[in-house]
Chain A
Amino acid sequence: MAIYLLKRILASLLVVLVVSFLIFLCLYFTPGSPEQAILGPTAATPQTLAAVRKTYGLDDPLLVQYWNFLRGIPTLNLGRSYQSGQSVLEGIGSGAAVTLPLAVGGFFVATTLGICGGVAAAKRRGHLSDRLMGAAAIVAASTPAYATGVLLLVVFGVDLRWFPVSGNGSDVPSRISHLVLPVITLGLVGAATVMRRTRITVAAALERDDVAFARARGLPRREVLFRYVLRHAAVLILTSAGVVLIYMVAATAVVESVFGLSGTGTYLVSAINSKDIPAVQGVAVVITFLVVAINLVTDILYALIDPRIQRGASAR
């Protein structure tokens, strides 16, 4: 186990390194000059341009610039935003105050709704309720997140006026009410994915001999479900939870922009639009790190649930 763990962690670090270099390369060759982005539309003399290039180290060779960027990471120094002069980490941090509750809430909705719905549908396979849930899941899974968001916004924000339409909110209760619709939007798409996978795997597990035998022995339904059925289904349910989590990293940006929330996703989009390279770079590296970490944690959890995976080459 220890060797497996070490190997996976090293491989993950390597991926972060490679991807961060690719991001850096991509941004280095971006059209448009960074010093113009820093100074804004004001007319610049050659002297100011040179001064700016010197301050931000723009004259250094590519690899030196990359090394300077890497050196900052252990001390959480991701550079300064060209746009605001604020440190990128602070920008990400202030956005996270909105994005984190949104993502956690969305993930909670997705997994509880998805797993409960999937188990219920699998147990009543072929019945009307199963088909209705299946239909709802198809609609929720194929609808883009922004479409779900605008739809909820029109129905619950504009027509019924139950929830606010836009913004972050000021105090705690209003912040929460501003997050309700975004959380549901984010959760619904994920729930559909989790539910469909859970339904298939639980239905397959229900047909296993040991489950039939456990039932025949007269074990209580609850025990059969938790000790036998869900155990067989756990690895696949976990995969879908991991997939949903990674999906959410991208979807939060979309949902934030629908509901006018100023989170990390909005920070990224506005940084992109204003060619604020350090900010884009910082957010992109943090996101890469998150995606790799999620993959790593799900892989480790697999290995804990199903010890065969450590030995086998491919987990899925």
Chain B
Amino acid sequence: MTMEAIPAAPARSHHKRRPWRPDPLTALSAVIVCAVLALTVWGSALAPQPPMRQDLFGAALPPGGEHLLGTDQLGRDILSRTLAGARTAVLGPLIIALVTAVFSTCLGLLAGYIGGITDSVVSRLADVVYSVPPLLVAIVAVGVLGGGYTLGIVVLSILNIPAGLRSIRAAVLEQKALPYIESAWVIGKSGTHIMWVHILPNIRPIALTTFFLAFTYAFVDLSTLSFLGLGVAPGTSDWGRMVAESRVLVFQNPWAALAPLLLIVVTAVCANLLGESLEGAAAEKGKAR
């Protein structure tokens, strides 16, 4: 639910870096996350039947025969809808994570390195935004203004920034105190140069962690919006939306809800594991020094 600041240390000399060798669980999560990403691109193409085709005579069928996972109340093929539903479920959170990572890195660098008034303004603003629950604000804002999926992405992007900003800022402050920054300053490098060329590479693991954590939260929150009927438009094949629409079918064909639901759980868990293993690797590096 929240991201925490983690200590960082400068990367050791670049040429001595060992190749990243993940443990089996992390490797498996990476493979699954890649598979889900592939689904967002080619999911609709892989679908055995058009995901929107209705067949009212074959409604709410249990798994078997022509429909591997059965059909929903409008007779649409669950397997096809699940494959096609990856797109809206994953693309939005990806955008949110990207925006969050970029903005929190830039703002965190500025606030941490420049300090003074810039830091106070940015940090206090972040504190205010940080104290509100993103999902709740998104529910009210999207519900009232009626922007649907797009507005959901905008709102969640803004609300996820403070958490990442805080950890980046903490890491920048830590770097700033180290001798190499002073040396760079002494030989006359500009502030911009120091921030982008010297500090940024050393806080990269934290920026990456921010990206993954933001993705996990955004994935959960955005699909919850769709579940509540506030995200994607009605009828869209979207995992969250499918769970909501199939909730009434739990007695006839529970797979209509379970198929998208299990994919949501697996994706969320794997993204989380990946993010955590990166976070752990960053912390480990810090300890090794």
Contacts and interface: CB of A to CB of B under 8 A. Distances in A.
B258 interface: yes
Contact of A258 (B132, B223, B247, B271): B247
A15 B130 CA distance: 13
Contacts of B243: 146-147, 150
B144 A273 contact: no
Contacts of A44: none
A172 to B, nearest CB: 26
Contacts, number: 116
Interface stretch (B74-82, B102-110, B260-268): B260-268
A147 B267 CA distance: 12
Interface string B226-237: 011110000000
B131 interface: yes
Interface in B234-267: 240, 243-244, 247, 250-251, 254, 257-258, 261, 264-265
A199 to B, nearest CB: 14
Size class of the A contact interface (CB-based, 8 Å): 35 or more
A240 to B, nearest CB: 9
B251 A30 contact: no
Size class of the B contact interface (CB-based, 8 Å): 35 or more
Interface in B117-156: 128, 131-133, 135-136, 139-141, 143-146
B250 A142 contact: no
Interface in A89-136: none
Contacts of A180: none
Contacts of A250: 133, 135-136, 139
A157 interface: yes
A253 B273 CA distance: 27
Given A147-B243, A250-B136, A158 B250 contact: yes
A315 to B, nearest CB: 11
A165 interface: yes
Contact of A142 (B2, B257, B269): B269
A138 interface: yes
A251 to B, nearest CB: 8
Which of A19, A142, A292 counts the most chain B CB atoms within 10 A?
A142
Contacts of A139: 265, 269
B146 A154 contact: no
A292 B254 CA distance: 40
Contacts of A253: 136, 139, 228
Given A141-B272, A249-B133, A27 B144 contact: yes
B186 interface: no
A145 B224 contact: yes
A309 B164 CA distance: 24
Contacts of B223: 144
A273 B145 contact: no
A48 interface: no
Nearest to B216: A142
A143 B135 CA distance: 14
11 contacts: A15-B128, A26-B145, A27-B144, A142-B272, A144-B220, A145-B224, A146-B227, A147-B264, A158-B250, A253-B139, A254-B135
Interface of B: 1-2, 128, 131-133, 135-136, 139-141, 143-146, 216, 220, 223-224, 227-230, 240, 243-244, 247, 250-251, 254, 257-258, 261, 264-265, 268-269, 271-273, 276
Given A150-B257, A154-B257, 12 more contacts: A31-B145, A142-B271, A143-B220, A143-B269, A144-B227, A147-B264, A150-B243, A154-B258, A193-B1, A250-B135, A269-B228, A280-B144
